[in-house]
Structure 1
Amino acid sequence: MYLILFDIDGTLLHSGGCGRAATRLAVQEVFGMVGQLDKVNFAGKTDWQIVLESLQPAGATVEQVQAALEAYDEAIARHLGQIISQFPVRPCAGALELVTALQSHPETVVGLVTGNMAGIVPIKLRAAGFDPGDFKIGAFGSEGWQRPMLPPLALERARTYASRDFAPEDIVILGDTPGDIRCAASIGARTLAVATGPYTRDELRTYHPD
Protein backbone atom coordinates (compact mmCIF):
# COMPACT_ATOMS: atom_id res chain seq x y z
CA MET A 1 0.00 0.00 0.00
CA TYR A 2 1.18 3.51 -0.84
CA LEU A 3 0.85 6.79 1.05
CA ILE A 4 0.74 9.87 -1.18
CA LEU A 5 0.99 13.21 0.63
CA PHE A 6 0.28 16.48 -1.18
CA ASP A 7 1.27 20.03 -0.47
CA ILE A 8 -1.53 22.47 -1.34
CA ASP A 9 -0.41 25.90 -2.59
CA GLY A 10 1.48 25.67 -5.86
CA THR A 11 1.04 21.89 -5.95
CA LEU A 12 -2.71 21.26 -5.94
CA LEU A 13 -3.91 24.79 -6.57
CA HIS A 14 -3.05 28.40 -7.30
CA SER A 15 -4.62 30.58 -4.62
CA GLY A 16 -4.43 33.86 -6.53
CA GLY A 17 -3.22 35.75 -3.46
CA CYS A 18 -6.14 34.91 -1.18
CA GLY A 19 -3.91 33.26 1.42
CA ARG A 20 -1.68 36.29 1.87
CA ALA A 21 -4.70 38.60 2.04
CA ALA A 22 -6.41 36.46 4.70
CA THR A 23 -3.14 36.16 6.61
CA ARG A 24 -2.79 39.93 6.81
CA LEU A 25 -6.34 40.34 8.13
CA ALA A 26 -5.98 37.55 10.69
CA VAL A 27 -2.53 38.59 11.96
CA GLN A 28 -3.75 42.15 12.45
CA GLU A 29 -6.87 40.94 14.28
CA VAL A 30 -5.16 38.46 16.61
CA PHE A 31 -1.81 40.14 17.25
CA GLY A 32 -2.68 43.80 16.75
CA MET A 33 0.00 44.34 14.09
CA VAL A 34 1.36 42.73 10.93
CA GLY A 35 5.03 43.39 11.61
CA GLN A 36 7.27 42.41 8.69
CA LEU A 37 4.61 40.30 6.95
CA ASP A 38 5.05 42.01 3.59
CA LYS A 39 8.72 40.97 3.54
CA VAL A 40 8.12 37.28 4.34
CA ASN A 41 8.36 34.69 1.56
CA PHE A 42 5.49 32.25 2.16
CA ALA A 43 6.76 29.48 -0.14
CA GLY A 44 7.39 26.16 1.62
CA LYS A 45 6.69 27.51 5.11
CA THR A 46 4.03 26.76 7.69
CA ASP A 47 1.54 29.46 8.61
CA TRP A 48 2.94 29.30 12.15
CA GLN A 49 6.42 30.06 10.79
CA ILE A 50 5.09 32.88 8.60
CA VAL A 51 3.46 34.57 11.58
CA LEU A 52 6.58 34.06 13.67
CA GLU A 53 8.90 35.55 11.03
CA SER A 54 6.54 38.50 10.64
CA LEU A 55 6.42 39.29 14.36
CA GLN A 56 9.87 38.25 15.61
CA PRO A 57 11.36 41.69 14.88
CA ALA A 58 8.83 43.02 17.41
CA GLY A 59 9.94 40.42 19.97
CA ALA A 60 7.45 37.59 19.42
CA THR A 61 8.58 34.07 20.37
CA VAL A 62 7.58 30.61 19.16
CA GLU A 63 5.71 30.06 22.43
CA GLN A 64 3.80 33.34 22.19
CA VAL A 65 2.64 32.63 18.67
CA GLN A 66 1.74 29.06 19.64
CA ALA A 67 -0.46 30.32 22.48
CA ALA A 68 -2.53 32.32 19.98
CA LEU A 69 -2.79 29.66 17.26
CA GLU A 70 -6.32 28.53 18.11
CA ALA A 71 -7.62 32.09 17.83
CA TYR A 72 -5.53 32.64 14.71
CA ASP A 73 -6.86 29.50 13.03
CA GLU A 74 -10.43 30.66 13.63
CA ALA A 75 -9.68 34.18 12.41
CA ILE A 76 -7.86 33.24 9.21
CA ALA A 77 -10.56 30.71 8.26
CA ARG A 78 -13.27 33.30 8.84
CA HIS A 79 -11.49 35.97 6.81
CA LEU A 80 -10.62 33.58 3.99
CA GLY A 81 -14.22 32.41 3.75
CA GLN A 82 -15.33 36.02 3.41
CA ILE A 83 -12.87 37.06 0.69
CA ILE A 84 -11.94 33.97 -1.32
CA SER A 85 -14.58 34.57 -3.99
CA GLN A 86 -12.70 37.75 -4.92
CA PHE A 87 -9.59 35.80 -5.99
CA PRO A 88 -8.87 33.61 -9.04
CA VAL A 89 -8.36 30.31 -7.21
CA ARG A 90 -7.83 27.42 -9.63
CA PRO A 91 -6.38 23.91 -9.66
CA CYS A 92 -2.86 23.32 -10.91
CA ALA A 93 -2.64 21.60 -14.28
CA GLY A 94 -3.49 17.91 -13.93
CA ALA A 95 -3.95 18.04 -10.16
CA LEU A 96 -7.67 17.27 -10.06
CA GLU A 97 -7.24 14.33 -12.39
CA LEU A 98 -4.28 12.97 -10.41
CA VAL A 99 -6.08 13.14 -7.06
CA THR A 100 -9.18 11.51 -8.54
CA ALA A 101 -7.12 8.65 -9.96
CA LEU A 102 -5.13 8.11 -6.77
CA GLN A 103 -7.98 8.24 -4.29
CA SER A 104 -9.92 5.65 -6.28
CA HIS A 105 -7.00 3.20 -6.19
CA PRO A 106 -7.56 0.56 -3.48
CA GLU A 107 -3.86 0.35 -2.57
CA THR A 108 -3.33 4.08 -2.04
CA VAL A 109 -4.01 6.44 0.86
CA VAL A 110 -4.10 10.09 -0.22
CA GLY A 111 -3.36 12.79 2.33
CA LEU A 112 -1.95 16.26 2.92
CA VAL A 113 1.22 17.72 4.37
CA THR A 114 0.60 21.44 4.18
CA GLY A 115 1.78 24.61 5.83
CA ASN A 116 -1.79 25.90 5.85
CA MET A 117 -3.68 26.27 9.09
CA ALA A 118 -6.18 23.43 9.38
CA GLY A 119 -9.23 25.71 9.23
CA ILE A 120 -8.47 27.13 5.78
CA VAL A 121 -7.68 23.84 4.05
CA PRO A 122 -11.24 22.81 3.08
CA ILE A 123 -12.03 26.38 2.02
CA LYS A 124 -9.13 26.49 -0.43
CA LEU A 125 -9.69 22.96 -1.71
CA ARG A 126 -13.38 23.50 -2.43
CA ALA A 127 -12.69 26.83 -4.15
CA ALA A 128 -10.34 25.03 -6.56
CA GLY A 129 -12.80 22.20 -7.24
CA PHE A 130 -11.39 19.50 -4.94
CA ASP A 131 -13.40 17.36 -2.55
CA PRO A 132 -11.69 17.67 0.87
CA GLY A 133 -12.97 14.18 1.65
CA ASP A 134 -10.61 12.72 -0.95
CA PHE A 135 -7.73 13.47 1.44
CA LYS A 136 -8.07 10.89 4.18
CA ILE A 137 -5.45 12.25 6.58
CA GLY A 138 -3.34 15.35 6.95
CA ALA A 139 -0.85 17.39 8.94
CA PHE A 140 -1.17 21.15 9.05
CA GLY A 141 0.69 24.39 9.66
CA SER A 142 -0.93 24.83 13.06
CA GLU A 143 0.82 21.68 14.30
CA GLY A 144 4.47 22.57 13.82
CA TRP A 145 6.31 25.79 13.18
CA GLN A 146 8.84 24.04 10.96
CA ARG A 147 7.71 21.95 8.01
CA PRO A 148 9.77 18.81 8.85
CA MET A 149 7.63 18.46 11.98
CA LEU A 150 4.58 17.63 9.85
CA PRO A 151 5.34 14.39 7.91
CA PRO A 152 5.71 12.29 11.10
CA LEU A 153 2.23 13.44 12.17
CA ALA A 154 0.76 12.55 8.78
CA LEU A 155 2.44 9.15 8.83
CA GLU A 156 1.10 8.31 12.28
CA ARG A 157 -2.42 9.28 11.20
CA ALA A 158 -2.09 7.21 8.03
CA ARG A 159 -1.05 4.19 10.09
CA THR A 160 -4.15 4.62 12.24
CA TYR A 161 -6.41 5.16 9.24
CA ALA A 162 -5.12 2.16 7.29
CA SER A 163 -4.41 -0.07 10.31
CA ARG A 164 -0.98 -0.84 8.90
CA ASP A 165 2.51 0.59 8.57
CA PHE A 166 4.04 2.16 5.47
CA ALA A 167 7.60 1.51 4.36
CA PRO A 168 9.56 4.69 3.55
CA GLU A 169 9.87 3.66 -0.09
CA ASP A 170 6.06 3.46 -0.29
CA ILE A 171 5.56 7.07 0.85
CA VAL A 172 5.70 9.96 -1.62
CA ILE A 173 5.51 13.65 -0.75
CA LEU A 174 4.54 15.94 -3.64
CA GLY A 175 5.40 19.61 -3.47
CA ASP A 176 6.58 22.64 -5.37
CA THR A 177 9.30 24.06 -3.09
CA PRO A 178 12.64 23.04 -1.60
CA GLY A 179 10.86 22.95 1.77
CA ASP A 180 8.62 20.15 0.52
CA ILE A 181 11.63 18.18 -0.68
CA ARG A 182 13.59 18.65 2.55
CA CYS A 183 10.71 17.77 4.86
CA ALA A 184 10.40 14.29 3.37
CA ALA A 185 13.68 13.33 5.04
CA SER A 186 11.96 13.40 8.45
CA ILE A 187 10.25 10.09 7.57
CA GLY A 188 12.58 8.87 4.81
CA ALA A 189 9.90 9.39 2.17
CA ARG A 190 10.46 9.78 -1.53
CA THR A 191 9.78 13.18 -3.08
CA LEU A 192 8.15 14.31 -6.30
CA ALA A 193 8.77 17.97 -7.09
CA VAL A 194 6.40 19.82 -9.41
CA ALA A 195 7.28 23.06 -11.17
CA THR A 196 3.79 24.54 -10.83
CA GLY A 197 4.77 26.95 -8.05
CA PRO A 198 7.39 29.70 -7.71
CA TYR A 199 10.41 27.46 -8.48
CA THR A 200 11.49 26.29 -11.91
CA ARG A 201 12.26 22.68 -12.76
CA ASP A 202 15.98 23.43 -12.86
CA GLU A 203 15.88 25.15 -9.47
CA LEU A 204 14.06 22.20 -7.90
CA ARG A 205 16.52 19.71 -9.40
CA THR A 206 19.33 21.24 -7.33
CA TYR A 207 17.58 19.91 -4.19
CA HIS A 208 17.65 16.34 -5.55
CA PRO A 209 14.02 15.17 -5.46
CA ASP A 210 13.44 11.54 -6.37
Structure 2
Amino acid sequence: MPTDEEVFAFCRNYEQKLLKWLKRKAHEGVILPNAAENLAFFHGREGYCQLLLTGNSRVGASLKMDFFGLSQYFDFDHSGFAFDYYYRDDLARNALAIAKRTWGDDIEAMYVIGDTPHDIQCGKAIGARTISVATGRHSYDDLAKCEPWKIISSLPEPEAFEALLES
Protein backbone atom coordinates (compact mmCIF):
# COMPACT_ATOMS: atom_id res chain seq x y z
CA MET A 1 0.00 0.00 0.00
CA PRO A 2 1.27 3.47 -0.77
CA THR A 3 1.80 5.92 2.05
CA ASP A 4 -0.61 8.81 2.53
CA GLU A 5 2.14 11.19 1.39
CA GLU A 6 2.61 9.22 -1.84
CA VAL A 7 -1.11 9.21 -2.54
CA PHE A 8 -1.35 12.95 -1.84
CA ALA A 9 1.61 13.69 -4.14
CA PHE A 10 0.17 11.47 -6.88
CA CYS A 11 -3.22 13.19 -6.68
CA ARG A 12 -1.78 16.70 -6.80
CA ASN A 13 0.38 15.74 -9.81
CA TYR A 14 -2.68 14.22 -11.53
CA GLU A 15 -4.73 17.37 -10.89
CA GLN A 16 -1.97 19.61 -12.25
CA LYS A 17 -1.79 17.65 -15.50
CA LEU A 18 -5.48 16.84 -15.95
CA LEU A 19 -6.64 20.04 -17.65
CA LYS A 20 -3.73 19.92 -20.09
CA TRP A 21 -4.57 16.28 -20.88
CA LEU A 22 -8.27 17.07 -21.32
CA LYS A 23 -7.48 19.84 -23.80
CA ARG A 24 -5.13 17.60 -25.75
CA LYS A 25 -7.62 14.71 -25.83
CA ALA A 26 -10.75 16.86 -26.28
CA HIS A 27 -11.65 15.13 -29.52
CA GLU A 28 -11.81 11.79 -27.65
CA GLY A 29 -14.05 12.93 -24.81
CA VAL A 30 -17.80 12.97 -25.28
CA ILE A 31 -20.86 13.58 -23.19
CA LEU A 32 -23.07 10.55 -23.51
CA PRO A 33 -26.36 11.02 -25.35
CA ASN A 34 -29.09 12.37 -23.05
CA ALA A 35 -26.65 12.91 -20.14
CA ALA A 36 -26.67 16.72 -20.29
CA GLU A 37 -30.40 16.74 -20.97
CA ASN A 38 -31.08 14.58 -17.90
CA LEU A 39 -28.79 16.68 -15.71
CA ALA A 40 -30.56 19.87 -16.84
CA PHE A 41 -34.00 18.29 -16.37
CA PHE A 42 -33.37 17.18 -12.78
CA HIS A 43 -31.29 20.23 -11.78
CA GLY A 44 -33.16 22.28 -9.19
CA ARG A 45 -36.20 20.04 -9.56
CA GLU A 46 -38.03 19.59 -6.28
CA GLY A 47 -37.28 16.26 -4.68
CA TYR A 48 -33.96 15.70 -6.46
CA CYS A 49 -30.38 16.59 -5.61
CA GLN A 50 -27.59 15.64 -7.98
CA LEU A 51 -24.36 14.67 -6.30
CA LEU A 52 -21.15 13.10 -7.47
CA LEU A 53 -19.82 9.90 -5.98
CA THR A 54 -16.44 9.49 -7.58
CA GLY A 55 -13.05 7.96 -7.09
CA ASN A 56 -11.70 11.25 -8.41
CA SER A 57 -10.59 14.11 -6.19
CA ARG A 58 -12.81 17.17 -5.81
CA VAL A 59 -10.40 19.21 -7.93
CA GLY A 60 -10.16 16.49 -10.59
CA ALA A 61 -13.93 16.03 -10.76
CA SER A 62 -14.45 19.78 -10.92
CA LEU A 63 -11.95 20.12 -13.76
CA LYS A 64 -13.66 17.38 -15.75
CA MET A 65 -17.17 18.70 -15.15
CA ASP A 66 -16.07 22.27 -15.96
CA PHE A 67 -14.37 21.12 -19.15
CA PHE A 68 -17.56 19.47 -20.40
CA GLY A 69 -19.82 22.27 -19.12
CA LEU A 70 -21.63 20.15 -16.53
CA SER A 71 -20.47 21.54 -13.17
CA GLN A 72 -23.54 23.70 -12.61
CA TYR A 73 -25.72 20.61 -12.29
CA PHE A 74 -23.96 19.15 -9.25
CA ASP A 75 -23.89 20.03 -5.57
CA PHE A 76 -20.15 19.68 -4.99
CA ASP A 77 -20.37 20.65 -1.31
CA HIS A 78 -22.35 17.51 -0.50
CA SER A 79 -20.73 15.13 -2.98
CA GLY A 80 -18.38 12.27 -2.20
CA PHE A 81 -14.80 12.37 -3.46
CA ALA A 82 -11.83 10.13 -2.96
CA PHE A 83 -9.47 11.66 -0.45
CA ASP A 84 -9.03 9.51 2.62
CA TYR A 85 -10.64 6.43 1.14
CA TYR A 86 -8.86 3.62 -0.67
CA TYR A 87 -12.04 1.59 -1.12
CA ARG A 88 -15.13 2.76 -2.97
CA ASP A 89 -17.49 1.31 -0.38
CA ASP A 90 -15.87 3.53 2.27
CA LEU A 91 -16.13 6.50 -0.09
CA ALA A 92 -19.83 5.72 -0.59
CA ARG A 93 -20.41 5.40 3.17
CA ASN A 94 -18.78 8.79 3.71
CA ALA A 95 -20.95 10.34 0.98
CA LEU A 96 -24.04 8.86 2.62
CA ALA A 97 -22.97 10.30 5.99
CA ILE A 98 -22.62 13.75 4.37
CA ALA A 99 -26.11 13.42 2.86
CA LYS A 100 -27.66 12.25 6.14
CA ARG A 101 -26.11 15.17 8.03
CA THR A 102 -27.60 17.54 5.47
CA TRP A 103 -31.01 16.04 4.64
CA GLY A 104 -31.56 13.36 7.27
CA ASP A 105 -35.09 11.97 7.12
CA ASP A 106 -35.84 13.93 3.94
CA ILE A 107 -33.92 11.31 1.94
CA GLU A 108 -36.62 9.12 0.43
CA ALA A 109 -34.47 7.25 -2.07
CA MET A 110 -30.89 7.27 -3.28
CA TYR A 111 -29.72 6.23 -6.69
CA VAL A 112 -26.18 5.45 -7.77
CA ILE A 113 -25.93 5.65 -11.54
CA GLY A 114 -22.79 4.31 -13.15
CA ASP A 115 -21.25 2.10 -15.77
CA THR A 116 -18.97 -0.22 -13.79
CA PRO A 117 -19.36 -3.15 -11.39
CA HIS A 118 -17.68 -0.92 -8.77
CA ASP A 119 -20.51 1.60 -9.10
CA ILE A 120 -23.06 -1.14 -8.45
CA GLN A 121 -21.06 -2.46 -5.50
CA CYS A 122 -20.65 0.88 -3.75
CA GLY A 123 -24.29 1.77 -4.33
CA LYS A 124 -25.38 -1.48 -2.75
CA ALA A 125 -23.01 -0.84 0.18
CA ILE A 126 -25.11 2.18 1.16
CA GLY A 127 -28.52 0.77 0.30
CA ALA A 128 -28.95 2.87 -2.83
CA ARG A 129 -30.90 1.77 -5.86
CA THR A 130 -28.26 1.09 -8.48
CA ILE A 131 -28.80 1.97 -12.10
CA SER A 132 -26.22 0.54 -14.41
CA VAL A 133 -25.77 2.09 -17.85
CA ALA A 134 -23.91 -0.17 -20.27
CA THR A 135 -22.12 2.60 -22.15
CA GLY A 136 -18.59 2.06 -20.89
CA ARG A 137 -16.03 -0.71 -20.97
CA HIS A 138 -18.32 -3.21 -19.28
CA SER A 139 -20.92 -5.08 -21.31
CA TYR A 140 -24.60 -5.23 -20.48
CA ASP A 141 -24.23 -8.91 -19.58
CA ASP A 142 -21.24 -8.29 -17.28
CA LEU A 143 -23.11 -5.53 -15.47
CA ALA A 144 -26.25 -7.67 -15.22
CA LYS A 145 -24.24 -10.30 -13.31
CA CYS A 146 -23.75 -7.68 -10.56
CA GLU A 147 -27.52 -7.48 -10.15
CA PRO A 148 -28.17 -3.74 -10.22
CA TRP A 149 -31.64 -2.46 -9.36
CA LYS A 150 -32.05 -1.45 -13.03
CA ILE A 151 -29.82 -1.89 -16.05
CA ILE A 152 -30.14 0.05 -19.28
CA SER A 153 -28.19 0.10 -22.53
CA SER A 154 -28.17 3.89 -22.75
CA LEU A 155 -29.60 6.88 -20.95
CA PRO A 156 -33.19 7.53 -21.95
CA GLU A 157 -34.64 10.99 -22.49
CA PRO A 158 -35.42 12.86 -19.24
CA GLU A 159 -39.13 12.06 -18.95
CA ALA A 160 -38.48 8.36 -19.56
CA PHE A 161 -35.63 8.41 -17.06
CA GLU A 162 -37.88 10.00 -14.44
CA ALA A 163 -40.45 7.27 -15.08
CA LEU A 164 -37.71 4.66 -14.58
CA LEU A 165 -36.77 6.24 -11.24
CA GLU A 166 -40.37 6.25 -10.10
CA SER A 167 -41.04 2.66 -11.14
> TM-score of the superposition, structure 2-length normalised?
0.78
Once the two structures are TM-superposed, the CA of residue 183 in structure 1 deviates from its matched residue by 1.0
Kindly report the root-mean-square deviation, in angstroms, between the aligned alpha carbons of the 2 structures.
1.8
Higher relative contact order (CA 8 A, sep 6+): 1
* Match among 194, 197, 200 for residue 133 of structure 2: 194
* Match among 175, 181, 186 for residue 120 of structure 2: 181
Q: Say yes or no: does 1:147 pair with 2:88.
A: yes
Aligned to 2:65: 125
Count of residues paired in the alignment: 145
Output one character per residue of 1:112-164: Cα deviation in whole Å (capped at 9) or x when no partner.
11111222111111222212x42112112223111111111111222333364
Whether the 8 Å CA contact 2:124–2:130 is kept in 1: the answer is: no
> TM-score of the superposition, structure 1-length normalised?
0.63
Question: Superposed, which structure 2 residues align to 1:52-201 within 5 Å?
Answer: 61-62=1-2, 64=3, 66-87=4-25, 88-131=28-71, 133-136=72-75, 137-162=78-103, 164-167=105-108, 170-201=109-140
* Match among 130, 138, 145 for residue 206 of structure 1: 145
Question: Superposed, which structure 2 residues align to 1:18-57 within 5 Å?
Answer: none
Q: Which runs of 4+ in 1 moved over 6 A?
A: none
* Structure-2 separation of matches of 1:200 and 1:93: 17
Output one character per residue of 1:150-191: Cα deviation in whole Å (capped at 9) or x when no partner.
111111222333364525xx0110010111111112211110
Aligned to 1:50: none
Percent pairwise identity: 26
* Structure-2 separation of matches of 1:76 and 1:154: 22
Output one character per residue of 1:37-92: Cα deviation in whole Å (capped at 9) or x when no partner.
xxxxxxxxxxxxxxxxxxxxxxxx24x1x233333322111111222111122211
Once the two structures are TM-superposed, the CA of residue 196 in structure 1 deviates from its matched residue by 1.1
* Structure-2 separation of matches of 1:161 and 1:68: 32
Structure 2 unaligned segments of length 5 or more: list them.
Answer: 150-167
Structure 1 unaligned segments of length 5 or more: list them.
Answer: 1-60
